[in-house]
Amino acid sequence: MKKIIALIGVVMVFLALSIDAYAAEKINIEVNGQTLTATLADNSSAQAFSEMLEKGKVIVEMSDYGDFEKVGSLGTTLPRNDEYITTEPGDLILYQGNSITIYYDVNSWNFTRLGKIDDITQSELKNILGKGNVTAVFSLPETEEKFVYGDADGDGILAADDAAMVLQKVLVNTYKLPLEDKTKDYMNYVDVDRDGYITASDAAYILQKVLISSFAFPAVKEN
């Protein structure tokens, strides 16, 4: 019984940490030559918006409405978590599931909260947004993710399996390396002999590196 209670406790801590990590997720908003940072809310709407941004930048043509917000169509519909909200300057709001608004003044209505722009005053925000129509570009912050040369599955560990995967890619052109789903720059890490192609030589080099840790890939020598 004590083991079960302890296990439940561990699971609850893990869930709490996961929720905190998600609640702190950041996005960028480029408007009028300025880049703003916003913190996403912790709800299914913000999560769906984040997943949308994972596919690429979202460009929204926004216009003034009611002298308290910039609003524009997302071109798609996100899940709604409407509640009665009195907005504050900097609030990011989802309206009717398909429009996103940046509030620069106060308004009260049933909205879905998406997030809030960080560390900005009302006057600063109004100056950046300006008057009239603006183009806002929403995106996830760029992160420089480093992979291991020859690591075909992107798990951070170089193993014989990686060589086997590369060889399978050579033999079956339609086979997709797991690393291809993690970075568009996968060739940089798999083409370890730098001849511009994925070949059996790459698989051989990877296996050699697994067996002899001191072996250096031609790709590494270049760098």
Looking at residue 19, its pLDDT comes to: 38
Q: Is the pLDDT of residue 140 over 60?
A: yes
Note the pLDDT of residue 73.
98
* Torsions phi, psi for 72 (to 5 deg): -155, 160
Q: How many C-beta atoms surround the C-beta of residue 72 within 10 A?
A: 20
> Which residue ranges form the domains of the chain, and what is each CATH number?
22-139 (2.40.100.20), 160-222 (1.10.1330)
Position 20 pLDDT exceeds 50: no
CA 172/CA 174 separation, integer angstroms = 5
pLDDT band for 30, please (50, 70, 90 cuts). Answer: very high
| pLDDT tens-place string over residues 78-93 | 999 999 999 999 999 9
pLDDT > 90: what percent of the chain?
74
Determine the average pLDDT of the residues in 148-165.
92
pLDDT at 14 over 60: no
Phi, psi of 100 (to 5 degrees): -115, 140
**What is the SS3 assignment for 189?**
helix
State the chain's mean pLDDT as an integer. Answer: 87
pLDDT band at 213 (very low <50, low <70, confident <90, very high): confident
171-200 confidence digits (pLDDT tens): 998 999 999 988 888 998 999 998 999 999
pLDDT at 24 over 80: no
Greater model confidence, 54 or 89 = 89
Q: Work out whether strand 134-139 and strand 26-31 pair parallel, antiparallel, or are unpaired.
A: antiparallel
pLDDT of residue 129: 97
Question: Is the pLDDT reported for residue 11 higher than 70?
Answer: no
In the structure, what pLDDT confidence band is assigned to residue 45 with cuts at 50, 70 and 90?
Answer: very high
Q: In Å, what is the CA distance from 217 to each residue of 92, 189, 208?
A: 48, 10, 9
Model confidence, pTM: 0.58
